[in-house]
């Protein structure tokens, strides 16, 4: 399911956040050293780099919040 957010990416629908996070994970963006760039991920989904980073950071924040709450 695609979502649309007014005022973002010229009001065009953007890919499901989960797909962006999966791509970041599977393509090596979260590895050290990285084997892909934020630019590559953004290009694959036709979104801006800041939008791609927003999705990745929000996912990281949710995961860390759950981890911290449990420990």
Its sign, for the CA torsion 37, 40, 41, 43, is positive
pLDDT digits (tens, 9 = 90+) for 2-15: 444 444 444 445 56
**CA proximity to 43, closest of 26, 63, 23:** 23
Alpha-carbon Rg for the chain, nearest whole angstrom, is: 13
pLDDT digits (tens, 9 = 90+) for 9-58: 444 455 689 999 999 999 999 999 999 999 999 999 999 999 999 999 99
Does residue 64 carry a pLDDT above 70? yes
Q: What is the pLDDT of residue 11?
A: 42
What pTM was computed for the model?
0.74
Q: What is the pLDDT of residue 15?
A: 66
């Amino acid at each position: 399911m695609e979502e649309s957010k007014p005022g973002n990416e010229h009001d065009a629908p953007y890919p499901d956040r989960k797909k962006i996070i999966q791509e970041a994970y599977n393509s090596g963006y979260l590895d050290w050293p990285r084997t892909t760039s934020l630019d590559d991920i953004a290009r694959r989904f036709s979104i801006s780099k800041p939008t791609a980073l927003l999705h990745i950071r929000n996912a990281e924040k949710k995961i860390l919040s759950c981890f911290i709450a449990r420990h």
